[in-house]
């Protein structure tokens, strides 16, 4: 069996370490261990025995994660190697061949490719720019049927940075309940809301919710490769059995650091630092776009470190990003990676000086394209 190329990840993996400026990242400038941990914690890391540990996640870490999801406990949690593994196990363990899978688009396209690989019937529903990146609820009602097995959302959304409003959340939950479908909610950007008001998780809105989170995006700790899924106990137990066939266990070092990072005071510090950086960078980016509004249309994100912009230059998005890479040593995500030509996803989560210099390279290319 062959799986289609995961375009976004393939292009990032190939080129992100070979350009001067990489603005494809959807996360925030990462911490160092010294910035994150105090001296006693750094010393304690030296005494950890590097064994396998508890394969579904340490008790301390699962307890810390469960505090983020009202009504959950450690038995609802499976710790994974990144949220990507949690997404993979969800699709693998829930969907069977010919099952109907309803997926929010635009989206991180991992589950799109996996569902097709496992033989599911993928039915997209779309966030609409004219609705401020909200779904058309009447359209959604017509897509979900009694054959729908799983509905996937990404909230806050990648790539638009939008947040589902209360009406959309209620509609999706009600429709899933009506047909007894599971909801898979990718919530890896929860905690990166720019207004500081953390959104509610989907978890708990029915007894068939699988929420996925991790430390890569809102927490600026992607190198720990720490993710998780939160699900009903029987689903978490089933997923653990699938996890035995993937990575078996997460790193004991990463789990300990993750447990410390999720302690309330430390978590507050991490999220406050990141929101400050994002708001400052977004203010700069908004000014940059405003002076070029004849070239771009942009609805500012409400969460996350990615800005999704529509452009009005007569060039395909993949062609444009390839020219930027080859001629300006600048990497940006093409809208084609989300099935949306004439859009670009630009990461704004770096240090401000890096973002400014990267956009200067983009400006050079814009001037050349307009002059030609």
201: number of CA atoms within 13 Å, CB side?
24
DSSP string, 161-222: -----HHHHHHHHHHHHHHT-EEEEE-TTTT-BTTS-PPPPSTTSSTTEEEEEESSSTTS-G
Residue indicated by tokens 């990615």: 306
Q: What local confidence, expressed as pLDDT, does residue 122 receive?
A: 97
Beta strands 333-334 and 121-128 are: unpaired
Residue 198 structure tokens: 């953390």
Longest dimension (CA), the chain: 62
User: How far apart (Å, rounded) are the C-alpha atoms in residues 209 and 292?
Assistant: 42
Residue 186: CB partners within 8 Å, gap ≥ 6? 83, 87, 107, 108, 111, 152, 153, 154, 155, 158, 212
Q: What local confidence, expressed as pLDDT, does residue 363 receive?
A: 95
Q: What local confidence, expressed as pLDDT, does residue 277 receive?
A: 98
DSSP string, 37-85: S-HHHHHHHTT---S---TT--HHHHHHHHTTSTT--GGGEEEEEHHHH
DSSP 239: H
Residue 262: CB partners within 8 Å, gap ≥ 6? 61, 64, 65, 67, 68
Q: What local confidence, expressed as pLDDT, does residue 5 receive?
A: 87
Domains of the chain: 7-32+267-366 (3.90.1150.10), 50-263 (3.40.640.10)
**How far, in Å, are 6, 33, 288, 320, 324 from residue 18 at the CA level?**
19, 25, 26, 18, 13
Q: What local confidence, expressed as pLDDT, does residue 143 receive?
A: 96
Instruction: Return the bridge partners of 346, or none.
Output: 307
Per-residue pLDDT tens, the chain, 372 aa: give them: 788 888 888 888 888 899 999 999 999 999 999 999 999 999 999 999 999 999 999 999 999 999 999 999 999 999 999 999 999 999 999 999 999 999 999 999 999 999 999 999 999 999 999 999 999 999 999 999 999 999 999 999 999 999 999 999 999 999 999 999 999 999 999 999 999 999 999 999 989 999 999 999 999 999 999 999 999 999 999 999 999 999 999 999 999 999 999 999 999 999 999 999 999 999 999 999 999 989 999 999 999 999 999 999 999 999 999 999 999 999 999 999 999 999 999 999 999 999 999 999 999 999 999 876
57: number of CA atoms within 13 Å, CB side?
34
Residue 286 structure tokens: 């908004």
DSSP 129: G
Q: What local confidence, expressed as pLDDT, does residue 214 receive?
A: 98
CB burial string 318-330: b at 16+ within 10 A, e below: bebbeebbeebeb
Contact 135, 162 (CB under 8 A): no
Element of type H or E holding 122: strand 121-128
Measured from the Cβ of residue 222, the count of other Cβ atoms closer than 10 Å reads 17
| Cα 129 from chain centroid (whole Å) | 19
């Amino acid at each position: 069996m062959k799986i289609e190329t995961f375009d976004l990840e393939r292009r990032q993996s190939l080129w992100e370490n070979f350009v001067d400026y990489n603005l494809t990242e959807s996360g925030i400038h990462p911490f160092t261990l010294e910035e994150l941990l105090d001296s006693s914690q750094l010393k304690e890391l030296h005494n950890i025995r590097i064994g396998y540990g508890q394969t579904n996640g340490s008790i301390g870490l699962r307890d810390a994660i469960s505090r983020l999801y009202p009504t959950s406990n450690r038995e609802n949690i499976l710790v994974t190697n990144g949220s990507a593994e949690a997404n993979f196990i969800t699709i693998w363990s829930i969907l069977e061949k010919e099952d109907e899978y309803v997926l929010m688009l635009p989206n991180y396209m991992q589950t799109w490719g996996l569902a097709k690989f496992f033989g599911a019937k993928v039915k997209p529903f779309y966030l609409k720019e004219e609705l401020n990146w909200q779904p058309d609820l009447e359209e959604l009602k017509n897509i979900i049927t009694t054959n729908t097995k799983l509905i996937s959302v990404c909230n806050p959304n990648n790539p638009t940075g939008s947040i589902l409003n209360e009406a959309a959340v209620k509609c999706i939950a009600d429709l899933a309940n009506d047909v007894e479908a599971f909801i898979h909610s990718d919530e890896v950007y929860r905690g990166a809301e720019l207004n500081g008001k953390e959104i509610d998780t989907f978890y708990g809105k029915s007894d068939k919710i699988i929420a996925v989170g991790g430390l890569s995006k809102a927490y600026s700790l992607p190198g720990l490769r720490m993710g998780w899924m939160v699900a009903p106990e029987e689903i978490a137990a089933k997923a653990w059995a699938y996890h035995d066939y993937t990575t078996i266990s997460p790193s004991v070092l990463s789990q300990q650091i993750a447990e410390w990072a999720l302690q309330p005071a430390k978590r507050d510090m991490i999220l406050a630092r990141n929101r400050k950086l994002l708001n400052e960078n977004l203010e700069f980016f908004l000014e940059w776009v405003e002076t070029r509004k004849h070239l771009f249309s942009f609805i500012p994100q409400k969460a996350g470190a990615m800005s999704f912009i529509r452009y009005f230059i007569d060039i395909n998005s993949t062609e444009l990003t390839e020219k930027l890479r080859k001629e300006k040593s600048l990497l940006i995500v093409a809208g084609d990676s989300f099935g949306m030509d004439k859009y670009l996803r630009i990461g704004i989560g770096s240090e401000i000086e890096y973002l400014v210099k990267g956009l200067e390279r983009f400006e050079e290319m814009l001037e050349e394209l307009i002059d030609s």
